[in-house]
Amino acid sequence: MNPASEATPRVLILGGTGEARELARLLTEKQIRVITSLAGRVADPRLPVGEVRSGGFGGAEGLREWLVSNGIDAVIDATHPFAARITSNADAACRAAGTPLLRLLRPPWRPEPGDRWESVPDLDAAAALLGGADRRILLTTGRQDVARFAGVADAWFLIRVVDPPTGALPARHEILRSRGPYHLAAERELLAANDIDTLVTKNSGGEMTRPKLDAAHELGIRVIVVERPQEPAATPTVDDPVAAAAWVSELAQLGR
């Protein structure tokens, strides 16, 4: 780590995920000084242990300045697989500042035999596959993306979100406010009780929101899966918090 910094390394975790919270816990246990950054969009976020800051940095250049002025020795980008802008900014800022960067990225979900999955590259492609007066859709792509489905005029949407969506909404919808983790029995009940025929999801991966896929599999429901945006090619990547914590320990031992 930076020789000018104090003996204990100071690590920035770009957060907003369960993996980021788990990593903050693991590093704190190792006596490593952690600051987790949140975008500040969720009204009542789940907070990690350790120091927390909230709000944007002002693009890649703002993040670079922040890293330098806060004496950050290493960055772990543990943001959601679909948070592409902050991931790209982290890549550019760390390269400019010469700060080691690791991407912590949970594995994507994969279809299993019998799944009725249709993979699409982005949200607009998902919206283009919807429509039809008798369609009943469970939309789980998140509050910020609901407006992309506003033009689907005739289908009915059950829109599941943590905080209420702010933009345009499809004409026929109901908002369901809830936050995971979810469980198979309740997901099965939700799909059946609302007579859902199509589930729309991002390929977020992870266990907390996976049960909707298992319930859709059991009930033979069509699933439209929005695949992930591309990651910066050069960033070293691990898929679990334990491996990310080991990377930090190794850097600290190397005295980087």
Residue 15 is a binding residue for ligand NAP (CB under 6 A): yes
- Nearest alpha-carbon partner for 146 in 160, 125, 131: 160
Residue of 32, 67, 76, 83 interacting with ligand NAP (CB under 6 A): 83
Span near ligand NAP by CB under 6 A; candidates 10-18, 101-109, 120-128, 152-160: 10-18
Residue 80 makes contact with ligand NAP by CB under 6 A: yes
Nearer to ligand NAP, 40 or 220 (CB): 40
Residues 6+ apart with CB under 8 A from 74: 1, 9, 11, 12, 99, 100, 101, 102, 248, 251, 256
Selected from 46, 58, 154, 171, the binder of ligand NAP by CB under 6 A is 58
Rule CB under 6 A: say whether 16 interacts with ligand NAP.
yes
Residue 201 contacts ligand NAP per CB under 6 A: no
Nearest approach, Cβ of 232 to ligand NAP (angstroms)?
12
For the CB of residue 125, give the shortest distance to ligand NAP in the complex, in Å: 16
Q: Where are the beta strands (DSSP E) in 95-181?
A: 101-104, 116-120, 136-139, 156-161, 172-177
Nearer to ligand NAP, 105 or 252 (CB): 105
Place of tokens 């008798």: 134
Closest CA to 40 of 212, 172, 163: 163
- Among candidate residues 194, 188, 212, 178, the one with its CA nearest the CA of residue 135: 194
Does the footprint of ligand NAP cover residue 59 (CB under 6 A)?
A: yes
Q: Can you read off the two tokens belonging to residue 17?
A: 């995920």
- Mark the segment that binds ligand NAP (CB under 6 A) among 82-90, 94-102, 148-156, 242-250: 82-90
Residue 89 engages ligand NAP in binding (rule: CB under 6 A)? yes
H helical segments located in 121-164: 123-128
CB of 7 to ligand NAP, least distance (A): 27
Q: How far apart are the C-alpha atoms of 226 and 205, rounded to whole Å?
A: 11
Give the C-alpha separation, 210 to 9, whole Å: 35
Task: Check binding of 241 to ligand NAP (CB under 6 A).
Answer: no
| Interacting residues with ligand NAP (CB under 6 A) | 14-17, 37-39, 41, 56-59, 62-63, 79-80, 82-86, 89, 142, 144, 202
